[in-house]
Amino acid sequence: MNIWNVWTKMLNALSSLTKKDLIYGLIIILLIGCLSSAVKQCSDTRLEYRNNIEALNDTIRYYQDKNGNLVATKLAFEADIKTLKLLNEDLYNQIKDLKAKGNVNSGTFFSGVIDNPKRDTTWIVQHDTIVKGFVRDFAFNNQYRTLEGNVSYLSDTLGVNINKDQVMFDYIVAIDDKNNIMIRSSNPYVKYNEITGFQLPQNKPKRWSLDAFGNFNYSPIDNDRFYDIGLSLGYNFSKFTIGPQIYFEHNLLTKDKTFYIGGSLNFNILQW
């Protein structure tokens, strides 16, 4: 028995199906689709739980970017704002305090210190200068810090005055699709004590789809009326969907019933 004979017998068997058989078939396929969707949802939930457990146990890690700057990274929670309250109530409360006007899809909190390098300055003071008193200015300045002031000794009183104390820093924060929080500052003396954050669960693109369809058609020219019911299996890539179709057509005027097997190629023009 060759492939053509098998294919012909399959077509004959499908064409002999009644309307009742097709309806039952559609119901079974819809039930299978609902079951598959439930299994997929359970699988996604399990992955979210596993990620959140890893995020709870994760610690801050460092690596160097292409310019040699240190980047701190740590796993973020994968949750919506309601689930975040169960995972990290402190972060939840801080986000709520922001009073955002729209939906919050992600958030990050971090704390740290700026551990500036030590600077020592020595003055050699003559004995007669000590008797009269003295004032010495100091300035420990670089591109990351400005610290200026003076040290004075007058009338047996030693004083230290800080006239200017500034620390320059910037941050860039990003969360990738693997829930890694990445924080970088151009100030190399920034050290991070705590990093925590969250983002909404990332929906992975689905390629395959199984659709049940039905439509009613009317032709005003010849007053023809008929309806179609059927199934289509599609594979999505970019804006195209390609796949086979199986459908049953019933002409309400001529009472003709036809069974079709074919293929389709669809191009998505616009979405809203």
Distance, CA of 269 to CA of 239 (rounded, Å): 8
By the 10 Å C-beta count (0-12 exposed, 13-18 middle, 19+ buried), 151 is classed as: middle
Taking the domains of the chain in order of start, what are their residue ranges?
Answer: 44-115+171-199, 127-167, 205-272
Going by C-alpha positions, the residue among 52, 57, 110, 54 that lies closest to residue 84 is 52
- Range among 58-62, 102-106, 124-128 with highest mean pLDDT value: 58-62
* pLDDT confidence of residue 167: 85
236-265 pLDDT per residue, tens: 776 677 767 666 666 666 677 776 666 677
- pTM (2 d.p.): 0.55
Contacts of 198 (CB under 8 A, 6+ apart): 76, 77, 78, 79, 84, 87, 88, 91, 106, 107
pLDDT of residue 19: 64
Cα-to-chain-centroid distance, residue 74? 15
